Structure 1
């Protein structure tokens, strides 16, 4: 088996079916399987998927295990030499799996552990496809200093970068929406850290890739639509304390694990200061709620 495509589903049966349909329509020239890991979706979500695609291997969890742990279960059951982790709210615009596979098989790319493609919103606008590792420089920049070096910040510090170049190139980490991973790299580094329920799991895994001298590459020839941006527009920008808490917990865990507790403490001070400044300047009406959540994480 060349490629195992793993899709985590949580109450997104319609989107998942659309995603699988795009794979079945566009993929050619590869021996592959599709594994759907369902995170205890409500209703008949699983039945809808198996009715539409009986050949798909479906793994059902009794509870929502989060992104990383669910993918780990799919990886355990996968037979592929490569693992293509694909979000349920995506669809392919071209034969991305074959593009990734042939890129990874090039002799000069044997040290590439992970790659991903260019991501787009449904309307065609570019979406963040890769990012830079979280850092104290990023936290410092959010005090307002990023305005002094906006272009540099967007490309070399920002955690989310929209691809603007057609060139294949190394990056810190690939968006979790479309990670094409060499199994050998996972064997050496391990799979997703189960302590990340949501957010930063792909970032931390990529950090381990780098420590083991595995590279992550953006391959813009592969093109994929990701609905995340559209769904945020539909639901508005209302402050969500649950998601904010998960985000801050995962960010702290990343800093503690990758940089140490001193760096994590400095990070919290910098972000706490930036929240206060945003409140004083009237830029963020939720600054006090964020500060309270930060103090508890």
Structure 2
């Protein structure tokens, strides 16, 4: 069996994630790491270059989003397994070792990924019994232990997405092609959701707009026509009425405006990125 540093490459996607760097990279010392920095404006890139020269750094001039950044790392991964993690996870080498052992012991079915226990409620495809290996229909993008070969066979993440639904889309494509998504409940890797980067009004606006655009794109891609129609009608017909009655500074007003804007942009054929690879910023 391969040792951990021969078996897996750890991939960390960063955007203004400086406060988490020492915790995550110190925990992974001795394991190959690829860090993809999505146009951070803090000192993340300088700190990695100066304090963690062993980390293979990919520094993007533009924020490429989650899926595109993972695909960049995938192109440079040479190990049989690749584990993608958010910087706001608490991870240990024992947890990584456990996942490597589990992968090398093999499963009954061909598989895409193993999802550790991040504290989020999993969505099971099969009965959760002791004599059946737990399988999921979807895994959170915060921690995903991939079989590199299968991820390449699926052509990685769909790069039309900027934020949201990219892992949902990947998992769905995997299940449709009979690749399993296994759940390792015994491997605890706690996730401080939403803490990977500072949140300000610009980020809130960005997330609201792209969440709606990505949801519509996902539904159309997978031909979920009735849910897609419901989304169109809900946002196009209902939101303008709600906006008439909401006060100018009402908490939900900005979210409604951005989701309406994203829906109208989607209907006009606008993508999440422009022709130069710049993500749309509302």
What is the TM-score when the length of structure 1 is the normalising length?
A: 0.72
1:4 is aligned to: 9
Say what the alpha-carbon RMSD is for the aligned residues: 3.5
- Equivalent positions of 1:111-260 (< 5 A) are 111-119=110-118, 126=119, 128=120, 130-131=122-123, 169-229=134-194, 240-260=204-224
**Contact 1:40 1:62 (8 Å CA) reproduced:** yes
- Give CA-to-partner distance per residue, 1:59-87, whole Å, 9 cap, x none: 11121111111111111011110110011
C-alpha contact (below 8 Å) 2:239/2:260 kept by paired residues: no
In the other structure, the counterpart of 2:273 is none
Unaligned runs of 5+ in 2: 1-5, 246-250, 267-282
1-structure distance, mates of 2:138, 2:182: 8
Q: Report deviation, 1:258.
A: 1.4
> Which structure features the higher share of helix residues?
1
- Distance in 2, matches of 1:132 and 1:278, equals 36
* Change in 2 beyond 3 A, CA 1:229/1:274: farther
Q: 1:108 to 1:219 in 2, by over 3 A?
A: same
Unaligned runs of 5+ in 1: 120-125, 134-155, 157-162
CA shift, 1:189, in A, is: 1.1
Asked if the contact 1:17–1:49 (Cα under 8 Å) also holds between the matched residues in 2, the reply is no
| CA-CA distance at 1:195 after TM superposition | 0.5
Match of 1:149 in 2: none
What is the aligned partner in structure 1 of residue 97 from structure 2?
Answer: 98
Query: Residue 228 of structure 2 aligns with which residue?
Result: 264
TM-score of the aligned structures, taking structure 2 as reference length: 0.76
Aligned with 2:221: secondary structure? helix
* Alpha-carbon distance change, 209 to 7 in structure 1, aligned in 2, over 3 angstroms: same
* Residue number in structure 2 paired with 1:292: 260
How many residues were matched structurally? 252
Alpha-carbon shift at residue 8 of structure 1 (Å): 1.1
- Structure 1 partner of 2:27: 22
- Asked whether the equivalents of residues 131 and 175 of structure 1 are also in contact (C-alpha less than 8 Å), the reply is no
